[in-house]
Amino acid sequence: MWADASGYYMYLPSTFIYQWDYEQIPQKMDSLTGHGFYLRDSQKVVFTKYTSGVAFLQFPFFIGTHAFCKIFQLDASGFSQPYVNSILFAGVFYLLLGLFFLYYFLTTHFDKKSSLFTCIALLACTNLYYYGLEHPGLSHIYSFFIACLSLFLISKMKLILYLVPLFALLILIRPTNLLLVFFVLSYFFYQYPLSDLKSIKWHQWIAPFLIGFAIVIPQMFYWHYATGSWISYSYKGEGFTNWNSPKILEVLFAACNGFLTYAPLFLLAFWGYFYKPISASFSFKFLILFSILVYINASWWSWQFGCAYGGRAFVDYYPFLAIGLASFINRTILNNLKTKIIGLALLLVFAAYNLLFIYGYDDCWYSTNWDYAEILNILKG
């Protein structure tokens, strides 16, 4: 419960314990939790720049923990160790549930061995492990889960109406997830042409849109409470200041949080897309959308995204990289015994690289010389 994680989480104790009463919230709790939110004394408000989507998904774990603390007369302030544990448990839960849905989605296009191998590789060889187990309080594992669930639901035509509230929640988790919505839609329109939507009666859309609206409304009330406006841009002083000179090579390959530097496994995923999994047009759309994603991240004022492990802004999109990875595994690695042995050895190398890096990492690249030599020193231990 530190920095960004406390900013996402703050909605829960503020709503259900303190009723947004500034005077009741423990003093200096903002600094004690790394300034993920701020107690603004001049306005008497609790301010967080983060939206409330993560808190929606953490709610069941929070409310269960709060009841537990009340029953057993433990510290029920919302910030004691049981509440920290609830965030850790929530991250692991959504990580595993996301992988569950991802596996069953992948089996609609690939065999079970390729699908299982892909999910294991994704967990062991990338920073999905880090953001699901080591730092689960950030938004990425939640976006990953919703993306996996959305792809799973698309394979069930009767459930596609539920994509509307899921999209609302996805954007509420992280507003830039609007691009992730387009990724999901690119798969949706591969599966179902527009003509198929005509079979859905107009009145069937009412409930999903009302649910989506109900998800967004509390955020608008919070903005009004904190800023006086129903719609607010809370990232003032931050923005896409590198539009004209995007740090594309740095985002992909830098020693400091380069996406492929920390997860070289995904080179195989891009290779897999050239086998045209699902369809040639889907592969083309993926490459276009992923190029846009890279450009957007490279344009952000802090392209390394602060204290991070690898390209954390890409974690949300891993279900789509999993498609390419499953394609590569299916077409290349699982062909015969020799390629299986080579593939398993490669997986172990990538997993060792990832886990040695994670557990030798200083957690915020504090080194003054964060370069490839520093990475090698970390791997050496």
Q: What is the 3-state secondary structure (H, E, C) of 230-251?
A: CCCCCCCCCCCCCCCCCCHHHH
pLDDT band at 367 (very low <50, low <70, confident <90, very high): low
What pLDDT does residue 317 have? Answer: 98
What pLDDT does residue 158 have? Answer: 67
Q: Is the model's pLDDT at 25 over the cut of 80?
A: yes
Residue 267 corresponds to which amino acid? Answer: L
What pLDDT does residue 371 have? Answer: 84
Cβ atoms 127, 354 nearer than 8 A: yes
Cβ atoms 257, 311 nearer than 8 A: yes
Question: Rounded mean pLDDT of the chain?
Answer: 93
User: For 131-173, how does the pLDDT look when each residue is reduced to its tens digit (9 = 90+)?
Assistant: 999 999 999 999 999 999 999 999 876 677 889 999 999 999 9
Beta bridge partners of 38: 47
User: For 78-106, how does the pLDDT look when each residue is reduced to its tens digit (9 = 90+)?
Assistant: 999 999 999 999 999 999 999 999 999 99
Mean pLDDT score, 54-62: 98
pLDDT band at 30 (very low <50, low <70, confident <90, very high): very high
DSSP secondary structure, 123-173, as one string:
HHHSTHHIIIIISTTSSHHHHHHHHHHHHHHHTSGGGGGGHHHHHHHHHHH
Q: How far apart are CA 331 and CA 277, in angstroms?
A: 10
Q: How far apart are CA 196 and CA 190, in angstroms?
A: 11
What pLDDT does residue 205 have? Answer: 86
Residues in the chain: 381
Please, what is the Cα angle at 65 between 46 and 41, to 5 degrees?
15
Mean pLDDT score, 259-272: 96
φ, ψ at 47 (rounded to 5°):
-115, 125
